[in-house]
Chain A
Amino acid sequence: MRLLEFQAKRLLSEYGVPIPKSVLAKSQDDLESLSFPVVLKAQVPVGGRGKAGAIRIATQLKEAVATTKELLNYNIKGYPVQAVLAEEQVEIKQELYLAVLIDKLTSLLLIMVSATGGVDIEEVARESPEKIVKKHLRPFVGLQDYIVRYLAKHIRLEDQLEGFRRIVNQVYSIFCDYDATLVEINPLAVTPSGLVVLDAKILLDDKAAYRHKDLFVKLQEEQKRAAKSGKTRAEQLAEERGITYVPLDGNVAIISDGAGTGMLTLDLTQDVGGQAANFCELGGLGGAESMLQALEVVNAAPHVKVILIGLIGGLTRMDEMADGILNYLEQHGKSKPLVIRMCGTKEEVGKARLRTAGIETFEDLETAVRVAVKLAEES
C-alpha cells in the first residue's frame, strides 16, 4: 500500500521526525490555525504533483481557501483530488534525499542519501549516480552508527549530525516496525531550525497487512475517499473476491491458472492480431469456486466478446476447474462464448465432465488463442 503524503508524515511524526506544522484543509477554520504563507498540496498516490500544478503556495487565508477549492477539482493521472494538505512554508537552505528500501538483487536492506535531493532526484540518479551515497545494511546487524556517520560525511552534513542521526534511526525503525518496503524522504530540507521532512513516500507490504491490521484499516478508510475514480463492476467484483484482475481495452477475456501463462496468453493474443480484455489469473487460489468467481468477474465487463480459459495446473486441479465452469453455466444460464484449453492435474476427469455438458477443450494454447481471437472478430 502506498501511503498518501499526510499519512506518511503522520507516521513519521509519531516517531519524532520533524515535519512542518500542517492540517488537512477541510474548512476555513482548519486553515486559520496556520501561519502564512502556506503550501497547499493535493493528496494523490502518484508522483509528479509539482509538475502537474498540484502543489501551490498561498500567502494569505483568502487565497488559501480559493486555491484549496480549486485543487479539490483537480484530477491527477486518473486520481481525483479528495484532500489537500496545508503546510506552513519553511525556509529551505538545501534539499537532501534519504531512503531505506529492500534491494532485490542482494536481498539486503539498502540506505541511500544524497546532498542533491528534490524533484530532480531521478535525473541525478541517471546523470550523476555518484552523487547518491549507498550503504547496504547487513542482516542481523542492521543500522549501526558508523553507517550514519559515513553517510553524513559523504553528503557533507557533519555539522547537522545529531539531527541527521535521529532522523535516520527513526526512519529505519518505521521501516522495520511496519513491514515497509520503501521509506523515502524527498526532500529532507535543511532549514534554519534544523532538518525537516517536506515530502515522504512510504510503501507498506500488503502481504504483512495482517500484522498491522488496525493501521491498514485506518489508512484504507482514509484512502477510500481518495481512491481512483470510476472502478468498473468487474474490478469491484475482483477486489471483493481477491482475484487478480487487470482490465485492458480489447474484447478477448482471459483467465489463466498461473501468472506466467497469463502474461504469455496476453502476448500470444496480440501476436495473432487480437486484443485482450483483461489479465486474470487464479494463481494459488484453485478450487471450483474461484473459477466460478473469475468467470463472473470477466463476464461483468461489457466489451468482452469471447472468454479464453487457459489452464495447465500443477496444484490447480482440472476436475475442480471443470466444476467451476459448469457451476457458472448452471447458475447464470449462459456465458459469452468459452474457448477452453485444459491440461494438467486430473485433466481426464475435467475434460470428461465438460464433454458431458457438450463442451470441447483444446490441448494446445496457441490454437486456443487463435480460435478465441477469430471468434471475437466474427461476432
Chain B
Amino acid sequence: MKEYGTDIVAGVTPGKGGMKVHEIPVYDFVEEALQEHEVDAAISFVPARLAKDAALEAIDGGIRFLVVTTEGIPDQDVLTIINYAASEGITVLGPDTPGLISPGRCKLGVHPNRMFAEGRVGILSKSGALSYEVCRVLTENGIGQSTVVGIGGGPLWGLSQQTVLKMFQNDPETEVVVLLGEVGGTTEQDAAAFIERYMNKPVVSLIVGRTAPKGTQMGHAGAIIEGEEGTAESKIRTLRSAGSLIARSPTEIPEIIKTVGSVR
C-alpha cells in the first residue's frame, strides 16, 4: 500500500506500541495513534476471533472509514460492528474484502497492482479475485478504472451494493459502472431496483455461479442458492429488466463498454 502511494501514517497492534515497521510507528491503541496523526481511514487485518474488538476500537477511537478484510467473523459480531458504525455515522467496507483501489492514486487493500490502470470505469465486486480478473481484462483492452471496490463475500455487508452504486452515480470520475455479483442472497435484486430508479450511468453486470448447484456454499459464506431468487438466472433477469447490460464472461465486458461510450 505504501509503495502504491497510500500515505500510511501509523499501525496499531496491542503490545507492540513504540515499535516501527518500514519506518511507520506502531501504537498499542487506535486512540493513541489518532492523538499523533491525522487519519482519514483505517484497514484491519485482525483475525476473525479478535476482529470485532478491533473494529469497535477503531470506530470508538474516531476512525471515519474502516476496511475490514477479515474472513470468517461470526455473523452476530458483524452485526454489532455494522450497527455500531451506523450509529456513529461511520462507513465500514467489508468484511471479507480485499479493500478498494483508485488506480494510480491510492490503494487501501491487497490488490495485485499490475491488473489496474487509471480510467473512468467504476467496479464493485463481492469477490476480490473476480475484480482482479475483470480489471486485468479491462486494462489489457485499454480501459482503466476510477475506483474498484470489494464489498466482501457476505452474507453481511457494511457498504452494500446499493450504497456503492449510489457513490458511483455521484462520482464525477466514473462514467460506467461494472457490477460483479454472484449466486446467493438477494442483494443483486436490491441493486437492480436502485439501478432502475436512480442510475443514469450505464451499468454492466456479470453474475458468476450460473452453473453452481443449489443448496451448496460456493466458497463465500453468502454464495449459497436458497430458493429461486438466489440463482444467477434470476439475478441476471432482474438486472437486465432494470436496464443493466449483461456480460457472461470478463472478456465480454470491454466489448460492451465500448458500445456504450468512449471510455478510456
A and B: partners? yes
- Determine whether the beta carbon of B180 is less than 8 Å from that of A207: no
| B127 proximity list for chain A (CB < 8 A) | 258-261, 263
Interface check B120, CB cutoff 8 A? no
* Known contacts A105-B186, A267-B249: A246-B74 contact under CB 8 Å: no
Closest B residue to A346 by beta carbon equals: B112
Interface check B141, CB cutoff 8 A? no
Interface check A215, CB cutoff 8 A? no
How many B residues touch the partner, as a band? 35 or more
- Residue total for A at the interface (Cβ-Cβ under 8 A): 48
- Determine whether the beta carbon of B130 is less than 8 Å from that of A314: no
The winner among B82, B133, B180 for most chain A CB atoms within 10 A is: B133
- Determine whether the beta carbon of A345 is less than 8 Å from that of B112: yes
| A260 proximity list for chain B (CB < 8 A) | 125-131, 133, 180, 182, 208, 219-220
| A268 proximity list for chain B (CB < 8 A) | 249
Closest A residue to B73 by beta carbon equals: A207
Shortest distance between the CB of B50 and any CB in chain A (Å): 12
Shortest distance between the CB of A225 and any CB in chain B (Å): 22
Interface check A92, CB cutoff 8 A? no
- Determine whether the beta carbon of B218 is less than 8 Å from that of A267: no
Contact string against B for A residues 52-84, beta-carbon threshold 8 Å, 1 for contact and 0 otherwise: 000000000000000000000000000000000
Q: Give Cα A116–Cα B248 distance, bound, in whole angstroms.
A: 42
* Known contacts A259-B219, A264-B250, A266-B212: A102-B129 contact under CB 8 Å: no
Q: Give Cα A269–Cα B248 distance, bound, in whole angstroms.
A: 12
For residues 156 through 189 of chain A, which have their beta carbon under 8 Å from a beta carbon of chain B? 176, 179, 181
For residues 294 through 352 of chain A, which have their beta carbon under 8 Å from a beta carbon of chain B? 312-315, 343-345
Interface check A139, CB cutoff 8 A? yes
* Known contacts A107-B83, A271-B248, A312-B136: A284-B128 contact under CB 8 Å: no
* Known contacts A260-B128, A315-B98: A283-B71 contact under CB 8 Å: yes
Which of B9-17, B33-41, B153-161, B196-204 lies at the interface? Answer: B153-161
- Determine whether the beta carbon of B249 is less than 8 Å from that of A264: yes
Interface check A4, CB cutoff 8 A? no
Q: Give Cα A366–Cα B140 distance, bound, in whole angstroms.
A: 14
Interface check B79, CB cutoff 8 A? yes
| A87 proximity list for chain B (CB < 8 A) | none
| A244 proximity list for chain B (CB < 8 A) | 217-219
Binding site for B on A (CB under 8 A): 102, 104-105, 107-109, 139-140, 176, 179, 181, 205, 207-208, 210-211, 244, 246, 248, 256-264, 266-271, 276, 279, 281, 283-284, 312-315, 343-345, 365-366
